[in-house]
Structures are given as C-alpha cells and as structure tokens.
Amino acid sequence: MYKAVIFDMDGLLLDTERVALMAGAEACAEMGYDLPHEFFLSLVGIDQITGEQRLRERLGDFDRAELDRRWQASCERAFAGGISLRPRVGELLDLLDGMNVARAIATSSHTKRAWAKLDGAGIRHRFDILVGFDDVSAPKPAPEPYLRAANLLNVSPADCLVFEDSDTGVRAAHAAGMRVVQVPDMSAPQTDLAHHVAEDIMTGARLAGLIP
C-alpha cells in the first residue's frame, strides 16, 4: 500500500520535546525572562526562525545568540545520558526492517543536530536519509521537507505515509499530498487534516494499513 514511510523526529520518534521546552524555560530564566509554559508549547513543531520571531514578539530585542547558547547547553546536559524513544517506536522500526518499505526523516531540527539526537537515541543506523531545516528553503508547514524526502527516496508523494506529532508537521505532509498519521505528544491536535490520529505510533500504523 505504501512505498515509503517518512517520520518527523522530535516528539514523534524521540522523547525530546519536553526536555527542549524545559531547557528553553531554564535558559530564558537565566537571562531574566519569565515566560509561561503555554508560550513554550507554541514553539512545538516549528522551525528555529519562526521560533525566534515569536520570541521577539514576546520579548522585544534580545540576545538571540546568547539565548541559543544557553538553551543548547541545557539540552546537551539533559541529553548527556541518552535520549529516550517515544512509546512503541522501536517496535515499529523492527517491523519495518522486515518490510520492503523505504524510510526517511523530515525534521525542523538542523541536520547535524538531528543526526546527533538519533545517535543519542541509538537509532541513527536505522536511517540513511534525513531532511533537516538547513536542507530546505521553506521549512514546515511548507511541504518542501516531505517532498524532498520523497524525491531522495525516489518515490511519489502519493505513495508515502507520514507520521507526525505536531499540527505544523501535519499541515506540511498534507500539503505534500501524503497520507498522514498524527501521534500527539505535548498538545492535542488543533487541525483535522490528519487522516488518522492515534495514541501511539503502532496504533497509527495499523489504522493507516501499514501493518495488519
């Protein structure tokens, strides 16, 4: 039914969103900025440039480089002991190993950092293709990340199944003409564009007909 499966990464494969948001709150507090949890939730699933724009709207003029340095340092401390997978991710990857289905990752993280996260989670070897934020001119919610991944896999967008956690990613995959499974992490879906919504990735795979 599908020739390829394309995954989002943070919050979908890797349990990194909570850590990233806590790290951001810590970095902002160190610089004297007290922002509510709801604001950090609004950053989930978006690229760094859009995130910076939202921060500037909230904080005005701030030292972006210093905040980024503190935020990244906090993340690295938290991830030093390894990165956990989201529920049942390993189970699905094991099943895909025995299926004739190509796979790739399309993420809003920078490519180098994304590969490092996959390495920290112990699943880097399970992917040959990764499209990061710096690999495209228009990041999610534009369809380019998913279209580029499909092109690298040499498959038609219509033959791809996408797994996403965020509304931003769902919009991107839907605009790319792909079938989309949303597995929410930090926030409940605010869009009805996903073809299926599931509590975990294995349930989503069954709903989409990827596995029996």
pLDDT, tens only, 103-143: 999 999 999 999 999 999 999 999 999 999 999 999 999 99
Which residues does 161 contact at the CB level (< 8 Å), separation at least 6? Answer: 2, 4, 5, 6, 178, 179, 180, 181, 208, 210
CATH of the domain at 99: 3.40.50.1000
Rounded to whole angstroms, the Cα distance separating 67 from 24 reads 8
Residue from 8, 47, 135, 167 carrying the catalytic annotation: 8
Residue from 10, 135, 165, 185 carrying the catalytic annotation: 10
Structure tokens at 177: 């003409």
Domain count, the chain: 2
Active site residue 10: yes
Note the pTM of the prediction, 2 decimals.
0.89
The string of pLDDT tens digits covering residues 15-40 is: 998 998 899 999 999 999 999 989 99
Of 61, 79, 97, which closes a domain?
A: 79
Model confidence band, residue 155 (pLDDT cutoffs 50, 70, 90): very high
- Kind of pairing, strands 102-106 and 130-131? parallel
- Is the same domain home to 144 and 101? yes
**Structural domain of residue 35, as residue ranges?**
17-79
- Kind of pairing, strands 160-164 and 179-182? parallel
- Is the same domain home to 124 and 163? yes
The string of pLDDT tens digits covering residues 59-74 is: 999 998 999 999 999 9
- Is the same domain home to 87 and 189? yes
Angstrom CA distances, 103 to 7, 99, 126, 161, 163, stand at 8, 11, 9, 10, 11
CB atoms within 10 A of CB 60: 7
Active site residue 94: no
Of 79, 111, 130, which closes a domain?
A: 79
- Is the same domain home to 58 and 102? no
